[in-house]
Amino acid sequence: MKKVLIGRVLPDEVYVSLQGLDVMRRDETQPMSGEEMRAALRDYDGVMCTLGDQFSAEVFADVPDARCKVLANFGVGYNHIDVAAAKAAGITVTNTPGAVTDATADIAMTLMLMSARRAGEGERLVRSGAWRGWHPTQMLGMHLTGKSVGIVGMGRIGQAIARRCHFGFGMSVRYFGRNEKLLDFDAIFHSDLKDMAAHVDVLVTAVPGSPETHHLIDAEVMHAMRPHARLINIARGDVVEQAALVDALERGVIGGAGLDVYEFEPEVPQALRDLDNVALLPHMGTSTGEVRVDMGRMVVENLQSFLRGDVPPNPV
């Protein structure tokens, strides 16, 4: 019987689909330590890992004859795994695309509305007991309907965000990416990110984390944005240069931001937390019960398929 490690606590509904495997549950919410990752490679045939489990080239090198032959990542993003080093070690890496698309797009819209309409600031005002009632100039924000949105990365999630903006809010859509795409809605392609940033009211990141996208949104991009524009990051924290964002928000270079991810999470700098013109969420883009169960079942199917000798559904 194949032995697998489930490296993080999962919804109860997922475990029943692990029948036929010798399962070790690591019912923790925090990432695996370096020693735990090395032991996982050494002692198990397959491992479920997820965000924060830093399977680096060094970790793989320390276990030269790994028993583990499949790392089934819980999540679509896998920049915490050195995939090239894994493949060199004879280890297949899988992920869970598709299951996260709509939930992540929904959280982008949540942050867009929170930032544009100052919802976080308003909630804090009510909770503080300092609200003195409605008046005509109270907490004036930005009307989102009819504005323009720029999507950085027009993959599955980028397209889902764009459709919500276009069909739901009547927004004009622009996008930046490697290539122009055939879409089922009107959108303007930009090959220059700063040029797109200068033309939109909301800039939304929807790219995977990688060396190529590290600090893709830097001080130059923010300075190209309009003074009232909002920056929304639901991709990976280091896609946005965090120090430059804090500076841009403090000096009013941009109108506001909405963040679900952070460059050094779970650390969120005090300077960012002190600002009223940024909405902050705790990396909850896929945090619905249905989505997490679907993700877990995709992980299990990737494990089961590989361990019975088939090609897994979602290799990376």
Q: Please list the active-site residues.
A: 236, 265, 283
Per the CB < 8 A criterion, the answer to whether 172 and 149 are in contact is yes
Q: How many CA atoms lie within 13 A of 74 on its CB side?
A: 27
Q: Any idea of the CA torsion for 272, 278, 282, 286, to the nearest 10 degrees?
A: -150
Preceding amide of 282 cis, omega within 30: no
- Spatial distance between the Cα atoms of 231 and 20, rounded to a whole number of angstroms: 47
CA 28, 32, 33, 38 torsion-angle sign = positive
Helix (H) or strand (E) holding 72: strand 70-74
**Strand (E) positions, 157-314?**
172-176, 188-190, 202-205, 230-233, 256-259, 278-280
Can you give the length of the chain in residues?
316
H or E segment to which residue 71 belongs: strand 70-74
